[in-house]
Amino acid sequence: QVQVEESGGGLVQTGGSLSVSCAATGRTAGVLPMGWFRQAPGKEREFVAAIDWSGGRTGYADSVKERFTISRVHAWNTIFLQMKTLKPEDTAVYYCAARTREHDGTWYREVNEYDYWGQGTRVTVSS
């Protein structure tokens, strides 16, 4: 079993910055592709950013490009999401996900491509 746990989050004003982190522990059997998703009230969970197992490849949703940066501790299942120039529309619960099935060395952007999820951490951007 794998446990995924997010930390960070909170309340920030428009234009501010915030970071969230995530660790996958347990029977991970290696370094995992991981990602961040978010879900705003009344909306579906959506892709935010993802990173491959090595940290060499990353992907972002268009809505967060140039503002958010995903990174990981080398060779560890710990990832970070640095968020800058935050907007009210970034308000959501942010979920971390880890993929334990086989992968092809890339990053993944679909909910069903991940196997384990955290409980989420809330990010609120006030206007």
Helix (H) or strand (E) holding 121: strand 121-126
For the cut 90, the answer to whether the pLDDT of residue 29 exceeds it is no
For the cut 90, the answer to whether the pLDDT of residue 91 exceeds it is yes
Residue 43's Cβ-count burial label (10 Å; 0-12, 13-18, 19+) is exposed
For the cut 90, the answer to whether the pLDDT of residue 86 exceeds it is yes
Name the residue type at position 99.
R
How far apart CA 39 and CA 78 sit, in angstroms, is: 21
How does residue 120 score in pLDDT terms, banded at 50, 70 and 90?
A: very high
Q: Which residue has the tokens 């809330």?
A: 122
